[in-house]
Amino acid sequence: MALRSASRTPHVVIVGAGFGGLHAARRLKKANVRVTVVDRGTSHLFQPLLYQCATGLLSEGAISSPIRHLLRRQRNADVVLGEAKDVDAGSRTLSVDRPDGSTMTIDYDHLVVAVGMRTSYHGCEGVSGHAPGMKTLDDALAIRRKIIGAFEIAESLPDSEQRRPWLTFAVAGGGPTGVELAGQIRELATLALHHEFRSIDPGEARVLLLHGGDRVLPSFSPDLSRRAQKILDELGVETHLGVHVTGVTAEQVETTAKAEPHEVIHYPARTTLWTTGVEAVPFAGVLARALGVDQDRGGRIPVEADLSVQGHPDVWVVGDVSSRDNLPGVAEVAMQGGRHVGAVIAHIIDGGTDRAPFRYRDLGNAAYIARRHAVVESGRLQLSGYVGWVAWGIIHIAFLAGVRNRMGTVVNWGATLLTDSRRERAITYGDPETARQPYR
C-alpha cells in the first residue's frame, strides 16, 4: 500500500506526535504544504504528568489528547496510525507498519523525525521485566497496577514481616520523575489510602529513592536540591545517594555503592520503578543507517544548526532523539525545535534559501515534590514551597494540550486537595485475553 498524490504541493511527513512533532505540524498550518503525521498511537501524550496517572491522581484521558482532534482545524494535515519502519533517502519514501500487519509506503519532500526516547536499563539483564519505566501510558497503568496491588496484597497477609516487602517501594533515579513519583507514592499512602484499609496502616509504606549522584535533582541548583531533599525527608521518603541499582527481581532490589568498597545491599521490595536513563528508540538506528550518519552514545542523531541531518537537507530530527549543543531532553526543547523546523520548511516552500539556526531559549526546570511544595528554576529565578507549587501548576496547565484536559486537570487537582481522595485507581491487565486468565 502506498500513500501518493498527483498534487505538486510539497509533502511534509512528520514521524511522531509528541511535543516536537505536534508543534512542527501546527507551525505548518498556513504553509502551502500537505502534512502527514505518523504515530504508533492515536493520542498526543503529556509525559510530564505520567507519574500522576500512575499514582491515581489523574486519568489517562486527562494527560492525553487524540491527535486527530488536536489537528481537526488544520485542513492541510492528515494522520496515519502506524509505526515508522524504514526510510529510503534516495527515493524519499517512508515505510510504515500498520496495526493490521500491512505495510504502507509514504512519499515525502521533507521528513521530520520526532520519535522521542525510551527507557534504558543500562545493560542490566532482566531488570525490565520487574521494574517498569515511565515513558508511556502503558508504563503508567502498569505502575498503577503494581502500586495499588501491593497495598491490596499486604492487607490480606497475617503478619508484619510478610507485609513489609509488599509495602516497600523502590524508585531508581533521583531526577525530576523519580522525585515526583516517590513523593506521590508517599502522599497516596498517607492521605488517599489512610482510612480505607483495616489490617494495615498504609502510612507505614516505605519508599526508597535510589540515586547514583550526590544529591537529588542534579539539574537544579544545589540550593533547590537541598530544599527538595528536606521536603522528601519530611514526607518520609528514604533517600539513598551514591548507589546504583544493579539488580531487580520480583522480591528484592539490589544496590551497589559507587565508592569503595562498593558495598552491595539487598532490600526486600515487591515494587521497583525505574526512572533513570533513556536511549533512542530502534527507528533512530534505522534512520541513521539510511542516512549514513553515526549516532552518539545514547543513540541520538547529530544534526546541523538548523536541525537537519548533514548531507540530507530534506530530513530533520527534533526533540530528545536529536543531538546538538548538549541540549537537554526536555519537553521545551522538543516544542521549540518543532516550531523552528516548521518555520524553516515554510520559509523554504516560499522560496527562501537561507536557513536560520535553531536557538534554544531555556525557560527553566520545574519539579513537584509534594502538595504545596514544588521547585521551579528559570535563570536566576528560584522558587520553592507554596509559591513554587503554584508556579509549577500554572506551567503544566499551560502546556497541556486541549482546553478540556486543562479544565479537567484543574478540577481533579482541586478535588484531591479538598478531599484527600484519589479516584483514578482502577487497574487494568493490558488486554481482554490477559484479563480473562486466572491469577498466576
Catalytic residues: 180
Q: Where are the alpha helices (DSSP H) in 188-304?
A: 222-235, 282-291
CA distance 327 to 325: 5
CA distance 374 to 396: 12
CA nearest to 279, candidates 299, 302, 303: 299
CA distance 123 to 440: 28
Q: Which three cell numbers stand for residue 134?
A: 515511565
CA distance 28 to 36: 11
Amino acid in position 412: N
- Tell me the C-alpha to C-alpha distance, in Å, between residue 379 and each of 54, 218, 220, 315: 31, 15, 11, 33
Q: Is 205 helix (H, G, I), strand (E, B) or coil?
A: coil
Element holding 9 (H helix, E strand): none
Q: Which residues of 71-86 are buried (b: 16+ CB within 10 A; e: fewer)?
A: beeeebbebbbbbbeb
CA distance 246 to 123: 10
Q: Is 302 helix (H, G, I), strand (E, B) or coil?
A: strand
Dihedral of the alpha carbons of 224, 117, 392, 170, in degrees to the nearest 10 = -60
Query: Would you say 216 and 232 are in contact if contact means Cβ atoms under 8 Å apart?
Result: yes
Q: Which three cell numbers stand for residue 79?
A: 494522520
Q: Which residues of 10-25 are buried (b: 16+ CB within 10 A; e: fewer)?
A: bbbbbbbbbbbbbbbb
Q: In what order do the strands lie in the sheet with 243-248?
A: 243-248, 252-257, 264-268
